Amino acid sequence: MAWATAANTWTKEDKSAADMMLKNLWDFFKLFLFPVIGASVSFSSLPVQTFLQCLGLVFSSVVIKFLATFLASYLSDLKYEECIFISGIWTGKASVQVKYSFLI
């Protein structure tokens, strides 16, 4: 929605300035992003115990993030269905934000 509003209401100069700023940010952060994407782990070389611990950690973190988001939305007087929906949406978003916050 924000991009559609900007495209329809901003002047050409404003769009160019925002585009240049985003390109500069991308040039800086891609230095941190691509080494992480390029890193690979061979699951066959991991001990089974370590692999199961990693799966447990990911599962528990998703559950904790879901519950924290549900509680926050529930305390803001939303309907139960809205709380479930928001929790599902924000759990994935929070995972991506946390993952890349370690790169900065």
Q: Are residues 85 and 52 in the same domain?
A: yes
DSSP secondary structure string, 1-55? Answer: -HHHHHHHHS-HHHHHHHHHHHHHHHHHHHHHHHHHHH----GGGS-HHHHHHHH
Average pLDDT, the chain: 77
Domain range spanning residue 26?
A: 10-40
Asked whether residue 94 carries a pLDDT value surpassing 60, the answer given is: no
Does any domain span residue 90?
yes
Compute the average pLDDT of residues 53-66: 86
Q: Are residues 28 and 60 in the same domain?
A: no
Tell me the per-residue pLDDT of 4-46, one tens digit each, with 9 for 90 and over: 777 778 788 888 888 888 888 887 777 766 666 656 667 777 7
